Structure formats: C-alpha cells, structure tokens
Amino acid sequence: MEEIETLRLPAPAKLNLLLRVVGRREDGYHLLQTVFQFIDRCDWITLGRRTDGEIHLKTPLPGVPPEADLTVRAARALAAATGTRAGVDIGIEKNLPMGGGLGGGSSDAATVLVGLNRLWHTGLGVEALMELGLKLGADVPVFVNGRSAWAEGVGEQLTPLDLPEPWYVVVVPDCHVATRTVFSSPNLTRDNKPIIIADFIAGRQENHCLPVVMELYPEIGAAMDDLSRYSEPRLTGTGACVFAAFADERQARQAAVDLGSTRSVFVAKGENLSPLQRALGFDPGSRQS
Ligand SMILES: C[C@@](CO)(OP(=O)(O)O)[C@H](O)COP(=O)(O)OP(=O)(O)OC[C@H]1O[C@@H](n2ccc(N)nc2=O)[C@H](O)[C@@H]1O
Ligand SMILES: Nc1ncnc2c1ncn2[C@@H]1O[C@H](COP(=O)(O)OP(=O)(O)O)[C@@H](O)[C@H]1O
C-alpha cells in the first residue's frame, strides 16, 4: 500500500447554540451546559510527513509564537503520548477569526490530532484523542468526536444530538474577546440552575455570558441590534461573533448582503457531522478513528 505523504483537512468552526454557567470547579474553571453545532466555515490544515522527527509550523499566525500555537502543541502531545519518531510540517490556512467564539484554535488542534494519528499510523482511538485534546482546551474533544452535542462539565461530557441544520448568518464584530476576561468578571452569574436536554429542545437558547460581554464590548451589542432586524441574534461562546438562524438559504444570503455593507459577515450551513469527519470518510455512529 502506498504511504500517504500529505493530508489537507478542514478544521470547522462551532457555534454554541446555548451556553449556561452552572457552577465552578475547585481549580476555578466554570461548569457549563452548552450545545455545540459545527458549521461549514473552516480553517484548512496541511500535514506533511517528515522523517526527522521535527514538528515545524510553516505558517505562524500573527501574534501567536509557534510553540504556543495549538496545532504545534497538539502534534507534540500526540508524539509524546505515542513515542513516534515521525515528524510533520504543519500549514494553517486561517479563515476563522481568532478570539471569535468560533473555536478555531481548538478545531485546528483537533484536526491535527485526528489527521496526524492517521498520517503517523499511531493508532489511538477516539476516546484517547479526546482525552489528549482536553488538555489543550475544553472545546477540543467535541471537534475530535465530530458530532453536534450537548455538553456538560467544562465541555468534555458529550451527548450527541441530532439537530436541525439551518443556515446561519454570522457577524464578526470588530473586537477580540479573551475568554479569560469574561470568566473572571465579578458580574458573571455563576450559580444558575441546571436544565435538561429536553428544555433546550423545547426552545431554551440563553447565553449566560451575554450580559458581561455586552458590558465589556459595546460593539457586540451593536452587532446584535443590527442582526435582530432579520432573525433572533445569539452570541457564540464568549463572543465576539454573533449569529442568527434562517430556515432558508436565500433569506440568509439576502440578510448577509444587506448587513455586509457595514459589517464583516458570512453565511454558513449548520452540520451535525463535522466536515473533518466527513472529509475522512468516517461512518456516523462508528467509533473508529
Ligand atoms: C467558552 C467556550 C464555549 O465553547 O468557548 P469560546 O468562547 O472560548 O470559544 C469554551 O468553553 C472555552 O474553553 P477553552 O477554549 O478551554 O477556553 P480558554 O480560552 O482556554 O480559557 C481561558 C480561561 O478562561 C477560563 N475558563 C475557561 C473555560 C471554562 N469553562 N471556565 C473558565 O473559567 C479559565 O480561566 C481559562 O484559563
Ligand atoms: N491555531 C490557532 N488558531 C487560533 N488561535 C490560536 C491558535 N493557536 C493558539 N491560538 C490562541 O488561542 C486564542 C483563542 O483562539 P480561538 O480558538 O480562535 O478563539 P475562541 O476561543 O474565541 O473561539 C487566540 O487568540 C490565540 O492566541
């Protein structure tokens, strides 16, 4: 069988369709209830095999030292866990705004874990990859698993959900939100009562970070006001991006054209199977990686 030398794979964005803060762990991390859905807007990751054991980032991102980049950290984590002597050249085509609440960094890391596990023949199962990913960021496991999900804990306790797959208009406000800033605000309500999945299915879609985010970043409230002229606006994660769902692609595209005269905006389709797993030909329901 011919050896694969290079893989080029998508790293999709996620939206948080709900984000609730229901407590705090001893280490200060917040306990969440959230719903993740993927969208077909993606970064693209290229992985080229090296035989010298080096892990090299060919396309460093502005403001992110290569050793801090989540793709490099993911590759190092997989190498350390498996003891492989293989190396890799990593390329990132960045389409997702950084600090946008779309999970781009976490998704890049997940794509490296899943892609390199294949390129390097390291043979870890999906659970082991999710566990490695969790050490890199709370959002990495859902991108490794690749199914829309209800999540609890810090986002690692996943229950796959079969959701409607609407069109989304996503507005990218002109500001970056540091997740840490939002979670360290004294004004964040941290003791909300937990709900159950059926409550979400019945229509709950609040984001408990929204009041703090609107107070710290007025630009995000302004973007929500603009989007609310077309459909009900929501915040993804701790922001900055806001989004609204449309049943119809034409309406979504028309809203994006209107908003696009003054704002950075894109249209994307909700997807319950991640574009990464689709690209790798994973059978939904199969646990093979
Ligand atoms: C809020 C969510 C929802 O999907 O997404 P984003 O808005 O960042 O995309 C995630 O849980 C983001 O998880 P993760 O990607 O691990 O967050 P990081 O940026 O590493 O977190 C930065 C800091 O925020 C605080 N933090 C983060 C997550 C959490 N559940 N509780 C916290 O208190 C911690 O102080 C942490 O050191
Ligand atoms: N490959 C990467 N892509 C994006 N951000 C990265 C990456 N590696 C490290 N980071 C750091 O992670 C931070 C959060 O990135 P990102 O995942 O895009 O935002 P969010 O968590 O708001 O969805 C960035 O501001 C950056 O400093």
- Output the ligand 1 site: residues, CB below 6 A: 16, 28-30, 32, 34, 101, 103, 106, 137-139, 154-155, 179-180, 183, 237-238
How many other CB atoms are found less than 10 A from the CB of residue 70?
24
- Provide, rounded to the nearest whole percent, the portion of the chain with pLDDT above 70: 97
What pLDDT does 289 receive? 44
What pLDDT does 3 receive? 75
Q: Is pLDDT above 80 for 287?
A: no
Nearest atom within ligand 1 for CA of residue 19: 3
**DSSP string covering 64-115, please?**
--GGGSHHHHHHHHHHHHHT---EEEEEEE--SPTTSSS-HHHHHHHHHHHH
Q: Is pLDDT above 60 for 126?
A: yes
Q: Is pLDDT above 80 for 283?
A: no
CA of 180 to the centre of ligand 1 (A): 7
Q: Which residues form the catalytic set?
A: 14, 139
What lies within 8 Å, CB to CB, of 138 at 6+ separation is 29, 106, 154, 155, 156
Cα distances (angstroms) measured from residue 34 to each of 18, 84, 145, 195: 5, 35, 16, 10
Q: Once rounded to an integer, what is the mean pLDDT over residues 243-254?
A: 97
107 labelled binding-site residue: yes
What lies within 8 Å, CB to CB, of 21 at 6+ separation is 30, 31, 32, 188, 189, 190, 192, 208, 209
What pLDDT does 284 receive? 53
Report the residue among 16, 179, 213 best suited for mutation to probe ligand 1: largest number of ligand atoms under 8 A from its CB. Answer: 179
pLDDT tens, position by position, 171-180: 999 999 999 9
Q: Is pLDDT above 70 for 114?
A: yes
Q: Which two tokens stand for residue 275?
A: 């574009």
Q: Once rounded to an integer, what is the mean pLDDT over residues 233-254?
A: 97
Q: Which range has the worst mean pLDDT, 150-154, 253-257, 282-286?
A: 282-286
pLDDT tens, position by position, 14-29: 999 999 999 999 999 9
What pLDDT does 1 receive? 55
Q: Once rounded to an integer, what is the mean pLDDT over residues 54-73?
A: 98
Mean pLDDT of the residues in the chain = 96
Q: Once rounded to an integer, what is the mean pLDDT over residues 116-128?
A: 97
What pLDDT does 282 receive? 78
Angle between helices 218-227 and 249-259 (to 10 degrees): 130
pLDDT tens, position by position, 181-204: 999 999 999 999 999 999 999 999
Q: What is the 8-class DSSP label of residue 273?
A: B
- Output the ligand 2 site: residues, CB below 6 A: 61, 64, 68-71, 92, 98-106, 108, 179, 237
Domains, the chain, in order of start with CATH, read 6-162 (3.30.230.10), 167-271 (3.30.70.890)
Amino acid letter, residue 43: D
Q: Is pLDDT above 90 for 85?
A: yes
Q: Is pLDDT above 90 for 243?
A: yes
Residue with tokens 């003891």: 83
What pLDDT does 4 receive? 77
What lies within 8 Å, CB to CB, of 125 at 6+ separation is 287, 288, 289
